[in-house]
Structure formats: C-alpha cells, structure tokens
C-alpha cells in the first residue's frame, strides 16, 4: 500500500521517469550485468532526485498563516509527503542513494 499526502505521489512518478530514462540511455552500452544494474539504478535515482527537487521547489512554497488569538504570523509548508516523509527530504534520500549506487556500478565496471 502506498501512502501519500497532497502531491507526494509525484515523487514516485519522478522515480519511474528517472529509471525509464536511464534504462533507455544504458541500452546504448554493452556493460557487465551487475555493473549495468547498479548504474541504471544510480543514475535513475539521481535524475529522480533532480526532478523531485524541481517539483518540491514548485509545490512546497511556504504559506503565511495568521493566528488572530495570539496575533502571530507564522509560515507553514503545504505538507506533501510520501510514506510520511516530506517531499523535500526525498530529494536528499534519492540523491544519496543514486550517488552510492552509481559509485558502486563504476567500481564494478573498473575492477
């Protein structure tokens, strides 16, 4: 079961788009199967992280909220999340996972 709030499902769509794009790109190269899988996953996650960063910048703008009882102005984010993790944190998760997998694929390719 997939849990999201707001437009958090767009993180999954960004991951699918990144993986599809990197799969088509790596079809051009003859690589070892284990290195290929890591490089496809790594570059797909990196692309998904960049797409998610753009989506987060566009969707998760702070909103000014005024509390009339206390007279305090505060800013809140819209609250888009996937699996209870806000979209802006998924960008970091995807970039770290992608860089790690891509480095592993390059290591397997070079050894």
Q: Where are the beta strands (DSSP E) in 1-111?
A: 4-5, 63-67, 72-76, 81-82, 85-86
Q: Which residues of 60-91 are buried (b: 16+ CB within 10 A; e: fewer)?
A: beeeeeeeeeeeeeeeebeebbbeeebbbebb
Write out pLDDT tens, residues 36-55. 889 999 999 999 999 999 99
User: What's residue 61's pLDDT?
Assistant: 77
Q: How far does CA 11 lie from the centroid of its chain?
A: 6
Phi, psi of 78 (to 5 degrees): -65, -30
Give the pLDDT band of residue 15 (cuts 50, 70, 90): very high
Q: Summarize the confidence of residues 10-38 as an average pLDDT.
A: 87
Q: 65 and 74 in contact (C-beta within 8 Å)? A: yes
């Amino acid at each position: 079961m997939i849990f999201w709030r707001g437009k958090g499902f767009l993180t999954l769509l960004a991951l699918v788009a990144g993986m599809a794009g990197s799969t088509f790109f790596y079809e051009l190269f003859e690589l070892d199967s284990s290195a290929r899988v890591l490089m496809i996953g790594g570059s797909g996650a990196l692309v998904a992280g960049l797409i998610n960063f753009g989506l987060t910048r566009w969707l998760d703008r702070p909103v000014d909220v005024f509390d009339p009882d206390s007279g305090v102005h505060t800013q809140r984010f819209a609250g888009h999340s996937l699996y209870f993790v806000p979209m802006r944190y998924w960008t970091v998760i995807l970039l770290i996972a992608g860089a790690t997998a891509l480095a592993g694929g390059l290591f397997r390719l070079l050894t």
